[in-house]
Chain A
Amino acid sequence: MRTRGFNKIKIVGLLIVFSVTGVYCQSGMVKITAGTYTPLYVDDTTDQSVDVDAFLIDKYPVTNEQFLEFVKTNPKWKRSEISLLFADNSYLAHWKSDFELGESVNPNAPVINISWFAAKAFAKYKGKRLPTVAEWELAAMADESEKNGYGNPNYIAKILKWYSKPTPVFLPAIGSNKPNYYGVYDLHGLVWEWTADFFNALVTGESRGDGGINRNLFCGSGSIGATDFKNYPAFMRFAFRSSLKANYTTSNLGFRCAKDL
C-alpha cells in the first residue's frame, strides 16, 4: 500500500512537472511587461523616451538545430539557392552543407551567419516576429535582479567585457549565462541579435521627427545628441546595427523572436 501511494504521488508529481515544462517548451517565451525605453540618440523635437507595450520574447536565441529544421521544411532558404538579395555569401557558411550542420557545429549553439530576411522568414514560419529595437533594448536593460540594470555599473562593465572580446571560433550553447530579471537568457554575452527595425537605430518611434538625425556620426561627433554618454554598450550596439544591411550575415549575429500578447 505504502509503495503504491508513493508511486501515485510520484506520478502526479511527474505529470505536474511535465505539464509545466510543456507549457514553457511550447512557447519558449517569456513576458516582458510594458515599460519605457530611452533611445541612445534622440531628436530635440521628439520626446526622449518610447513607450513599449507588454510583449513576449524567446527565452533563448534561435539555435542551429531549430534553424536547420526551418530550412529543411522551407528549402528555398537553403544555402546553395539563396539569392544574394536576401543573404550575402557567408549565409550559413559555418554549416557543412545545405541540410547538414557538420561535426564542428554545436546544434544547440545560436545560429549565426543569418541575414535579416532569413531571420524574419523563420519568425513568420513560427507565427512570431522579430523584436523591435525598443523591445529588445527594454528586455536587455534588465540585469539578474532588476528591470533596469543600467544604474548598476557592474552590469555595464560586464556587458562591455563581452563586447571587447573577439568572437570565439566555436560558440557555446545557449543558456550558459544566467537568466535576467524576466528569465531571458543570453541577451548579452553570446551573439549580437537582429531586430525588426535595425536600420532605424536612431528612430525614436515618431518617424516624422527623425529627419534631422545623421546616421553617420563618427569620432567625437558620435556623442552629439546621445542621451547617455557613459553607456558604451549602447553605443556599440548602435554602431553594430548601423553597420548592417538586411542581406548581411556575420559570424556573431543571430536572432530571437518576439510576439504580441
Chain B
Amino acid sequence: MLNIDLIKGKLMNMNKVLTDTRPIRLKGRSFLALVLTPELPFEGWLARLDDLAARSAGFFLRRPIVLDVEGLDIDRSQLKELIGELGNRSVRVLGVDGARSSLLGADIPPALTGGREASDFEAPAETTVDADQGKPEAPAHDPEPQPVRTMPSIIISQPVRSGQSVVFPEGDVTIVGSVASGAEVVAGGSIHVYGTLRGRALAGSVGNSSARIFCSKLEAELLAIDGLYKTAEDLEPHLRGQAVQLWLEGDAIVAKTLN
C-alpha cells in the first residue's frame, strides 16, 4: 500500500493581466491507494485475482488502484493488455509505479513516484462476502515522517540552467551551483542552493509548511513554500544578493539573512 502525493492546482498563467491578486494556493495531499503487484505469467496471476474477487464481490470497486510493475520484464503492449484485462474485471488503474519510461505513454495511466508504505489491506477472508470489508481507513492526512524513516534527498552538483527544471516531491533538494534565471527547482522538502538562486524555488510542494529555502545569494524570480509564493518584486530590496533563508510563519513567507 502507499500514499500518493498529488500536487493540487497549478501556477496560473503569469502572462495574463491579474484582476484578482490573491495568491493561488498550491497544495499537496496524500491519498491511500491499493497497490497491485502483478506477477508473470499474467494468466495465472489474473486467475488468482479472479479467485480473490469471487470471494469478495466489489473488493476493487471504487478503490484507487496502483499497479507496481517494478522489475517485471514486459513491454508496453503487454502492460496495455494487462490494464485492459483489469478493466474487464472493473479494476481501474489510476497510476503505474516503478515503470521504465519506455513503458509509459498517453494510453497508459501516469507514472507515480515517491510512494510510502502504509499498513497492509486485509484481503477478504474466505467466509465473509461483505462489500464493506477491508475498506481503507480514512485517507492519511499530512503524514508525519516516522523517526525511523529517513527523509530522501538529492544532491545536484552542477548548475541548473535556464529552462531546466528539477522536480523532487520526495524530499530535500541540494544544489551545489547556481540556479539560472528561467530555471526551476521544486522540492517536497527544503531547497538548499550553494550558489546564486536566480530562478524559481518552490519548496514544500506537497504540502509541507515546515520546508525552507536556503541560498548563498538571493536573486530569485519567484519563491514559494507550501503553495504560498513571493515574486522578486515582493522581496525586500536589502535581501538581494545576500545569503538568505526563507520559511513560513502562518500565511506569510519570512526571509532573513544568514550570518
Are A and B genuine complex partners? no
